[in-house]
Structure 1
Amino acid sequence: MMFFSKKINPYTFWVSILILIRAFLNYAIPLMDKTEARYAEIARIMAETNNWTTLQIDYGVPFWAKPPLSTWLSALSFNIFGVNEFAVRFPYLLLNILVILLIGKYAKRKGLDFLIPGLILLTIPEFLLHTGVVSTDTALAFCVTLVMISFWEGIHNKAQTFWKYLFFIGLGLGLLAKGPIIIILTAPPIFVWMVIFKQYKTVWKSLPWVLGILITAVVAIPWYYLAEQKTPGFFDYFIVGEHFKRFLSSGWKGDKYGFPKSQPMGMIWVFLFVFAIPWIQILIGKIWKNKTNLIKNKWVAFLLFWFLWTPLFFTVSKSLIHPYIMPVMVPIALLITHWWEEIKHKKRIITIALTIPILAFFIFVTASLFNKSNYYINSDKFFIENNTDKNIPMYHWENKSYSSQFYSKGTIKIIEDNADLSKNLNSKKPFLIIIPHKKIKNIDKESMKLLKELESNYKKSIYIFN
């Protein structure tokens, strides 16, 4: 296996291979419903309408659930590379590459290879997945990393004063990435660390608090002000609804855009142990082995509090999904790096870790070669692209999917019910309609007889009337 070659730096080789694999998949895999295609469509509308203030989930329909940073990045990428899957995912690939470059110095300081933390991150399934998934979680994780690393460097690295200001810039960007959650996820572990090591004076004197808070405000507040002015009601929905009501209730009735995410209490830990394999298991073993010395080392304690706080915070929430563990991927990698020389059987562990992404890559390629990937991917891409040459109206039964909106460039319409369907049939004009299999039972049988199935996947079929 190439990892054991002495002629090439194995860390450089495998980090490069994993980034290339992820970049290829970013290009090759269609945007999938619901979440990824939704954020891609919001970015597409932003780029098309040139409205950089109000996020829109459909033309003229504001999207209040998230701030704009991720959408800005994807929309800018569309303007550079065109409207396609690689373009919309490129910012997330870039952000995670920046994370790898940002933390490599901590390996160098221990006399290790710069890319060891990067290899660990890219072999964590959750991190590799979000190096190419359109969502707000990658941007939030980047901002959390920037805040935490800048805080540490700001009070310890006297030679590079820019870290003191990056700390506050990171907070401002975090407010634009996902809102006040950036403060919730970073302030408590920093505060606990300060209390335990009695670093109040050092922190107070090291960081430019007055100027820093002003920097954070200048970065974040203008958009919040303009968003409320453009669409009154945003602030109440986003701050009160998304940050308090959603956290406290998985069945929050005021949710305008999402879908139920009810999980058993404590499910965040299951997500962590499943989606961070095999490194989370290695880390737990090292923490247990070094349990008597954990709080004696300031750096280890800082990383440990950073690692533990996010899952502890979400332990009591039932409204969550697995990407919520993204902010702790970096402390996992840095803690493993700290104990790197103590870890036995490293080559075997790395081989196991590499197996997951490489196997996933070959499964996708094989499925594509046998034309099976199209059938099992939850996307309307192929329905849209394979039938656009017919130049007739296209509809979706009852509710549009976000992927159908994206790939039709917003032209797809809805047939809401049987009365609407009958009206279209009686017009005698040809049209296409995408129907989910589970919703066929809602359609009048006589109407269904007039529709001819063109193609299908595991979830839907597209029909033509002519």
Structure 2
Amino acid sequence: MKLNLKKISPYLIITVALLLFRAFMNYAIPLMDKTEARYAEIARIMAETNNWITPQIDYGLPFWAKPPLSTWLSAISFKLFGVNEFAARFPYLLISIFIVLLVGKYAKRKGLDFFIPGVILLTIPEFLIHAGVVSTDTALAFCVTLVMLSFWEGIHNKEQHFWKYLFFVGLGLGLLAKGPIIIILTGPPIFIWVVISKQFKSLWKSFPWVLGILITAIIAVPWYYLAEQKTPGFVDYFIVGEHFKRFLSSGWQGDKYGFPKSQPLGMIWVFLFLFAIPWIQIVISKLWKNKAILIKDKWVFFLVLWLLWTPLFFTVSKSLIHPYILPVMVPIALLITHWWKEILNSKKIIMWSLLFPVLVLLFYIGITISDKKEFYINTDKYLIENSSENNIPIYHWINKSYSGQFYTKGSIKSIEDNTKLEELILNKKPFLIIIQHKKLDKISKASMLLLKEIDRNNKKSIYLFKD
């Protein structure tokens, strides 16, 4: 039986191609410091220790900054596929695929190809990047999407009652993905839409509030209770510190794990315009042209509220990073889908939107062919793999890196000062040590004379001591 390629949707082909590209990059690129390698290492420790309650940033050191959903996903993936980069990232690729499948039906309702929203999503740089990044933001974006679309379907879809329960499932999973922020990012746009659309009665009657709240509690509360019991102080640090003090102060002194993320006020909008190109620009153009009738179309108004609320909320915060815009990639794709038939040169726009993944692939091929990949990528993987010999102990000068922890399976140790380094040298046993170039001046000249550089990248070198 011959396959008729003419009948295969070009949007399906683009979607599959982009997912395969992302899967390849998930396999080919090492885990990079600081954020991605940190979350991968937390998951690796969880899989190794089988401690599924308390995420640990190092053995015996609890990680209170985030709930465990993303860690659970990567840890389960490690159990199934072994400890490697692809396994660490695989759950986030699956989540992204699920989101693509979830939004496809909204294209079908407009008489469009099912995969048009998927193509739009996967050509948004922010979404494509996070289809293969170990972080909490992809899981949060999925939970926000599930809550918002379940709310819409629960109000309007009288035949499929499961949406009314998925709404509360999404809230419960969101509390495990990143905490109460799930309510902050979904509650206000839903509330504003209900008020202006005069849907209070429908909202009250459509959803099983008592059973639904119980479902949310059953999903989320047990872990919060057990986490506080295992490591007292977690709830105060996470709820008060991570959600209020961090939001209000980019230089929050109580931060146990992070690093300063101070940005100018309103920087979230710059992130949105840069990382959602070219589709956000088209959305803004269409919104401006249709500004007089936006509220009249309840679906468009709902998507606009969803899109605008997150950047509006973070406008007054300096403590933020670009993944904070990830939850609004879906409304961008759905708004474009809604206006798809009105968009001129849509095929040309898709071709231009493919420029980002093409440039990424060309860049990767270029640095690989030129042997620059190991030199420029921000990871300790290659230093460790290229220099390992006969299980010689490996150390990191001052603060060990998360990629160093991951690629040594937790065996790397830090040397904090010259006294400890000199003690190691006096033992006359071979060891390896990774040193940042900018911290070379902190090591005594006498010790440096005894260390032999055997590999380096643009930020660090690895040295061998042999008596």
Shorter-chain TM range is: over 0.9
Aligned to 1:117: 117
CA-CA distance at 1:446 after TM superposition: 1.8
CA distance in 2, matches of 1:440, 1:351: 48
Q: Which runs of structure 2 are paired with 1:15-414 in the superposition (5 Å)?
A: 15-414=15-414
Secondary structure of 2:396 counterpart? strand
Letter in 1 for 2:173: L
Q: Which string of whole-angstrom CA distances, capped at 9 and with x for unpartnered residues, describes residues 273-316 of structure 1?
A: 00000111111111111111111000000000000000000000
CA-CA distance at 1:6 after TM superposition: 5.4
CA distance in 1, matches of 2:322, 2:27: 23
Number of residue pairs aligned between Structure 1 and Structure 2: 462
Letter in 1 for 2:356: I
Q: Which string of whole-angstrom CA distances, capped at 9 and with x for unpartnered residues, describes residues 389-415 of structure 1?
A: 332110000011000000000000111
CA distance in 2, matches of 1:349, 1:408: 45
Summarize the Cα distance change of 1:8–1:362 in structure 2 as closer, same or farther, 3 Å threshold: farther
CA distance in 2, matches of 1:157, 1:371: 55
Aligned to 2:426: 426
CA distance in 2, matches of 1:57, 1:240: 20
Secondary structure of 1:104 counterpart? helix
Q: Which string of whole-angstrom CA distances, capped at 9 and with x for unpartnered residues, describes residues 188-240 of structure 1?
A: 00000000010000000000000000000000000000000000000000000
CA distance in 2, matches of 1:337, 1:445: 64
CA distance in 2, matches of 1:57, 1:180: 22
CA-CA distance at 1:8 after TM superposition: 4.1
Secondary structure of 2:357 counterpart? helix
When normalised by structure 1's length, the TM-score is: 0.98
CA distance in 1, matches of 2:214, 2:227: 20
CA-CA distance at 1:383 after TM superposition: 1.4
CA distance in 2, matches of 1:366, 1:266: 35
Secondary structure of 2:411 counterpart? coil
Q: Structure 1 unaligned runs (5+)? A: none
CA-CA distance at 1:7 after TM superposition: 6.1
CA-CA distance at 1:369 after TM superposition: 2.3
CA-CA distance at 1:366 after TM superposition: 2.5
Secondary structure of 1:447 counterpart? helix
User: Contact 2:387 / 2:454 at 8 angstroms: preserved in 1?
Assistant: no
CA distance in 1, matches of 2:77, 2:7: 37
Letter in 2 for 1:37: A
Select between 362-371 and 145-154 the one with higher mean Cα deviation: 362-371
Secondary structure of 1:453 counterpart? strand
- Aligned Cα root-mean-square deviation (Å): 0.9
Select between 445-454 and 221-230 the one with higher mean Cα deviation: 445-454
Secondary structure of 1:429 counterpart? coil
Q: Structure 2 unaligned runs (5+)? A: none
Aligned to 1:13: 13
CA distance in 2, matches of 1:241, 1:391: 41
Letter in 1 for 2:396: H
CA distance in 1, matches of 2:202, 2:9: 40
CA distance in 1, matches of 2:363, 2:412: 32
CA distance in 2, matches of 1:365, 1:183: 42
CA distance in 2, matches of 1:133, 1:369: 24
Secondary structure of 2:255 counterpart? coil
CA distance in 1, matches of 2:421, 2:79: 37
User: Contact 2:387 / 2:455 at 8 angstroms: preserved in 1?
Assistant: no
User: Contact 2:189 / 2:305 at 8 angstroms: preserved in 1?
Assistant: yes
Identity %: 74
CA-CA distance at 1:77 after TM superposition: 0.3
CA distance in 2, matches of 1:161, 1:35: 39
Q: Which string of whole-angstrom CA distances, capped at 9 and with x for unpartnered residues, describes residues 432-452 of structure 1?
A: 000011110111112111111
Letter in 1 for 2:320: L
Secondary structure of 1:204 counterpart? helix
Matched, 1:458 2:458: yes
CA distance in 1, matches of 2:369, 2:69: 37
Q: Which string of whole-angstrom CA distances, capped at 9 and with x for unpartnered residues, describes residues 74-117 of structure 1?
A: 00000000000000100000001000000100000000000000
CA distance in 1, matches of 2:154, 2:90: 30
CA distance in 2, matches of 1:247, 1:341: 40
Letter in 1 for 2:337: T
CA-CA distance at 1:388 after TM superposition: 2.5
CA-CA distance at 1:352 after TM superposition: 0.7
Letter in 2 for 1:102: L
Secondary structure of 1:296 counterpart? coil
Select between 445-454 and 55-64 the one with higher mean Cα deviation: 445-454
Secondary structure of 2:462 counterpart? strand
Q: Which string of whole-angstrom CA distances, capped at 9 and with x for unpartnered residues, describes residues 347-391 of structure 1?
A: 211111001111201210221122211111000001112223332
CA-CA distance at 1:137 after TM superposition: 0.2
CA distance in 1, matches of 2:93, 2:371: 27
Secondary structure of 1:292 counterpart? helix
